[in-house]
Structure 1
Amino acid sequence: MASPATTQTVRPLDTLRFDTSGPPQITSVVADHLRLLGARTDGPAPGDESTGTTTVTGGGFAPAHATATWAGPTGGLVDEATVQAATGIMAVHGRRDGNPRGLAADYAATATGVLAVQGLLAALVGQARGGPVRAVTTGADRAGLLAVSQYLAAAGAEEGEAAELAPGGPPFTSADGVRFELETLDPEAWAAFWKALEAPAEALRAGWRPFQFRYATACAPFPAALHLTARSHTWERIRRAAAAYGAQVCALRSLAQRAAEHDGAAPWSLVPTATGPLAIGPDRPAPGALPGASPGVPIGGPLAGLTVLEAGRRIQAPLAAHLLGRLGADVIRIEPPGGDPLRGMPPTCSGISARWLALNRGKRAVEIDIKSEADRRRLRDLAAGADVFLHNWAPGKAAELGLDSDDLARVNPALVHAYTSGWADRIEDAPMGTDFMVQARTGVGEAVRPEGEAPAPSLMTLLDVLGGLLGAEAVLAGLLLRERTGHGVRVDSSLLGAADTLTAPALRRAARGENPRRSAGFRVPRRTADGWLAPADTDARAAAAHDLSGLSTTEALARLHEHGLTATAVTTELSDLHHDPRFTGSISRDAHGAPAVPDPWSFV
């Protein structure tokens, strides 16, 4: 079909409407994001609490349908608790504590809602480019597997972890009771900070490696002497030491504090980069068509025929580009001379980092030295023929290099320029924009732990993953806006947006003056004679009345089932997911032998 366009289009879903029904943990995210993208609705419709359905209509498009479920027909997973238990989220999140733990926030449901919106946007982009009308299905079980994909890949690698998997980690506590996160990527700054606080030399040396690898292992078993050192100094003294030696510290903030300062902004922004409509003609291909490409209906995924340039580091931007690649785009990864050093990060499969493969398999790579003017010209030339340029460089770096949205719009007015950042310039005096620092600053440490437990940001990279999902969603929204208006678009997303998306229900409770935290004991797995099980959230209180400690997990599940209660076994070894009947056929191995999770959506 021809690309639907409206002269009044400001947001990608302006003039469109949607209807949604199903589990509120999932559909509330879907509805919030579709509204922010411009669609209108009359409100939620009644429906099946196990399956979410959303239909988007209008704007010259054929209706687009999305279905979001808790799990496939054989999984036996019925809600957030059982999905977290089965997919390994509880196991990874619980590594710091030594036992599986549930996230008190609805992480899998939130990710599922974002994936459903991604699917709808991708389907509409595909339609606008002349492709078939598609319906999309996703599930919280797939979202959970995607969230643990790096940890799963490492568990199935040929060699062991580079750092010990054992309990331990931040946050630290000062002498005057301030709980705080510490961040530095520089071993010299780490050492100087702890020396200034008079930590034992052996402790600071032994602590660096687990601290450095906590993003990969979800735990940091560094010496107890570091915690004791922190407890012997006031918060002010700790802040001065960090400032003096190049480390950063951030006191954990509460959900009430975040709610009080929350500006209500969307988790991404979309701004046209061209001053007028692009001239479409023989010398300027339609948006979505590369110069020299033959026009026609895209074959394959809804983004087939589109090119994404990705200059990403670590998780957030690489995951966003990975998802766009799974939707059919050709992803070209910009790497430094010699290649991405993280390719060799252990554990490896066929000599390549298993974690790196989880985020980057299937991408092409081009080595470019961004410090070289000649190579920056090469990058501009690549951008001139691309549809998306995606990066997560430090704030201001793209402008410094002459590669910001305005710079690249001069060589490609149709470009979608995407920046995935930490803070999106929305927080004054913000610390370093890394996962754990953003968790600390935004109240996530409270949101993931129930009432009665000390707040503690998860050492599972919650926001990097959710930030990557939001980054892909923002790019898809930008592509659709480009198709409808003929303008290039700058899109910005952030870890801050991910934090606010995850904690949105808690922030609303805090804004109403209610307790934003879940009740004591919420989503705590039960020990059995040979493992752990997790009751469904609605059955947890009744399940607590049964003594399961002397029963095997199979027997305990049968006992609860006899009483009409739903529960599932907790996955404690991620390598067992390959053979788990709840995910039959879902997990495969790539050409390097690394475990690979399934696509998070299915299109028909």
Structure 2
Amino acid sequence: MDVRAAACRVEAPASRPLDGTVVRASGDSVAVRVAASRLRALGCAIRTGGAPLPPDAPAGLLRVERAPWISGGHALPECRIGWSGPVAVPMAGERDVQAACGIMHVHGRATGGPRALRVDYASVCAGVLAAQAVTAGMLALLRGGTAVRAATSVAQAAALALTQYVAVATTDPGSGSSRPEPGAERTPPFRSAGGVRFEIETFRAESWLRFWTGLGAERSAIAAGWPPFQQRFATATCTLPPGLQAVAAAWDYPAVRRAAQAAGVGIVAVSDAGTPLPPPPASPWRLRPLPTAQATEEAPAPDGRPRTGDGPLAGIRVVESANRVQGPLSGHVLGLLGADVVRLEPPGGDPMRGVPPMAGEVSARFLALNRGKGAVEADLKSRAGRETALRLAASSDVFLQNWAPGRAARFALDAADLVAVQPRLVYAYAGGWAEVLPAPQPMGTDYLVQAHTGVAALLSPPGRPPAPTLMTITDVLGALISAEGVVAGLLGAGRTGAGVRVETALADAGRLLRDTHEVGDRTADATAPVVSDLAAMAADPAYAALFETDGAAVYSRAPWTFTRPSDHRREEP
């Protein structure tokens, strides 16, 4: 009997595509706890305990024990979680990974020396990746493939989180200096006259100029401040002229906020760690069936190129229209799982392709997030561009975008438009705030989200004012959550025969880091060596399993390995 046909006859809500599945979660690390909570949200019943952890899974083991919606005697997926994984450097916890894999180095650049993130960031990322591996394995079975045994590690998660920094470091060895310039201040956050700390955001030099001019800053300070502010996402440093902080401190926060709104600059106050957030959504990925989709028992697979390739998502086709980090990295993760990803780019290509440093003819940072993808240029504001997008969607399984709110409707390329041409489409939106802030929302970018959700306060040592890390932690974790939602949406579409909408946000990353903050030990010193040079780390044979090169730059490899468990038999509870 065809596995997919049997599964489609089992009713499962799109928001809980793993209903009926039993997973045993062994171990007590942050990574396995996060993975178990994600699988539980997808509908799994989680059992804990069991046999001692195997030597190759010191951070945890996830094993699917039962899935009655899968026909026959198929072996079922599992995922083993390590600390150092394939790295030949002993690591026994989050602090070791942060030290040995470069997180302390990148986080500490803004203040002049390595610093540990005061959240279990790499472990949280590893937990999301582990849950994603199990879900992708179940999707492979649903689509008629074989089970996969996955392995990941906290070190591999850390390497993926730093891939853009490693790519830059290996093409431009002088980038990301960890020594602030003399006389400069580590800003933002800024501080108003009343003591309110705040973050600002803009991608436009004109808006930056209008904002500071409106507050009375000197033109020389405004001009000198723009390059480090603009480049802070790439460098993880931001040292600005002291005069800008002095100007901000002369105004109360309401006046600063009015100036920001008049200039088109995003602004949020930096929240305390205990500041409440709105209640979480019923589904962490806001999975829901597309209302205009017609469910069918066996909807035909999309027409198009042959379904070939490796990985549990082999044969899945993704159309991605996204920029910056979150959306492109989400598409990249899907590609690392085996999907065929095609980018929709504006005429002339994505401007990020030309941002230095270059790895050959293309930006190293761009390649860190987009290598291996195809590309089609289209002006989505035009009828011809919209028709191009519709044609691609009609022959694809996923449409992933991170456009500004309202842009999908203006393009006439919202979920309802695309499901009309592909009824089983997974329509994924990777946004900034979701329901965390009311409309009109400020720009949904990494540092604003850290500031508002309280993550910045979690990162600050006792007695120090809260400040976001300039390492793009919510961009990366938000991308992993987006890809996780896409895989869950594909599973839901496969079980119900209907299209699924997936909506995730950077604010979800902030919420997840807050929710896991009390778990784990962040006070112990690292026993692993502290990396202070990403290029040297990438060239070290001990780290060879983490990285790959195109000859011009170095990038992280896929954070999992997948094998067919020929010796793994289905274990009934």
TM-score, length-normalised on structure 2? 0.90
| 1:101 equivalent in alignment to 2:115 | yes
Alignment RMSD (CA, Å):
2.3
Other-structure match for 2:303: 291
Alignment partners' CA distance in 2, 1:72 and 1:9: 35
Q: 1:548 maps to which residue?
A: none
Residues matched between the structures, number: 544
> 1:503, 1:578 → 2: CA distance?
31
Q: Which residue matches 2:34? A: 29
Aligned match of 2:324 = 314
Per-residue Cα deviation, 1:260-293 (whole angstroms, up to 9, x for no partner): x444654311111155654467xx52xxx33156
Aligned to 1:496: 507
Match of 1:544 in 2: none
Counterpart of 1:232? Answer: 250
SS in 2 for 1:584: helix
Cα deviation, residue 7, structure 1: 3.6
Q: Is 1:53 matched with 2:61?
A: yes
Q: For residue 568 of structure 2, what is the aligned residue in structure 1?
A: none
Q: Which has the higher contact order (CA 8 A, sep 6+)?
A: 2
> What is the SS of the residue equivalent to 1:492?
strand
Instruction: Give the distance between the partners of 2:304 and 2:489, measured in 1 at CA.
Output: 23
Could you tell me whether the CA contact under 8 Å between 1:22 and 1:46 is conserved in 2? no
Say yes or no: does 1:141 pair with 2:155.
yes
| Mapping of residues 49-128 of structure 1, within 5 Å | 50-56=58-64, 57-61=66-70, 62-72=75-85, 74-128=88-142
Residue aligned with 1:95, SS: helix
Please say if residues 23 and 62 of structure 2, whose CA atoms lie closer than 8 Å, have aligned partners that are also in contact: yes
Please state how far the C-alpha of 1:352 moved relative to its aligned partner.
Answer: 1.0
Q: 1:350 to 1:573 in 2, by over 3 A?
A: same
Question: How much has 1:43 moved relative to structure 2?
Answer: 4.3
The amino acid across from 1:152 in the alignment is V
Q: Is the 8 A contact 2:296 2:496 kept in 1?
A: no
Stretches of structure 2 lacking an aligned partner (at least 5 in a row): 564-573
- Once residues 207 and 438 of structure 2 are traced to their aligned partners in structure 1, the CA distance between those partners, rounded to angstroms, is 23
Per-residue CA deviation, residues 121-161 of structure 1 (Å, 9 max, x unaligned), is 11111111111111110001000011110010000115865
| 1: CA distance, partners of 2:289 / 2:469 | 36
Structure 1 equivalent of residue 12 of structure 2:
9
3-state SS in 2 of match to 1:67: strand
Equivalent of 2:497, from 479, 486, 501? 486
Q: Which moved further from structure 2: 113-122 or 448-457?
A: 448-457
Aligned to 1:352: 362
- When the two structures are superposed, what TM-score results if normalisation uses the length of structure 1? 0.86
Question: What displacement does 1:413 show?
Answer: 0.3
Q: Distance between the aligned counterparts of 2:540 and 2:218, measured in 1? A: 45
Cα displacement (A) at 1:248? 2.3
Q: In structure 2, do the counterparts of structure 1 residues 187 and 131 end up closer, same or farther at CA, with 3 Å as the change threshold? A: same
Provide the C-alpha distance between the structure 2 equivalents of 1:163 and 1:249, rounded to a whole number of angstroms.
Answer: 27
Q: 1:594 aligns with which of 544, 553, 567?
A: 553
- Distance in 2, Cα, partners of 1:162 & 1:22: 37
Structure 2: which amino acid aligns with 1:69? Answer: G
CA pair 585-9 structure 1, distance change in 2 beyond 3 A:
closer
Distance 1:128 1:38, change over 3 A: same
Alignment deviations for residues 466-504 of structure 1 (CA, whole Å, 9 cap, x no partner): 011011100000011111111111111110111111111
Q: CA 1:316–1:44 in 2, change beyond 3 Å: closer, same or farther? A: farther
1:269 is aligned, of 263, 286, 295, to 286
| 1:452 counterpart = 2:460 | no
Q: Which amino acid aligns with 2:431?
A: S
Within a 5 Å distance, the mapping from 1:351-390 to structure 2 comes to: 351-390=361-400
Return the offset for 1:367: 0.2
Offset from partner CA, 1:73-119 (integer Å, 9 cap, x none): 63201111110111111111111111111100110000000000111
Aligned pair in 2 of structure 1 residues 145, 299: CA closer, same or farther (>3 Å)? Answer: closer
**Corresponding position of 1:529:** none
Aligned residue in 1 for 2:567: none
Structure 1 residues 251 and 46, CA, compared in 2 at 3 Å: closer, same or farther? farther
Identify the range of structure 1 (328-337 vs 265-274) with the bigger mean alpha-carbon deviation.
265-274
CA shift, 1:166, in A, is 3.6
**Equivalent residue number for residue 154 of structure 1:** 168
Counterpart AA for 2:68: G
Counterpart CA distance in 1 for 2:176 and 2:332 is: 24
Find the residue that maps to 2:133 and give its secondary structure: helix
Map 1:359-438 onto structure 2 (within 5 A). 359-429=369-439, 430-438=441-449
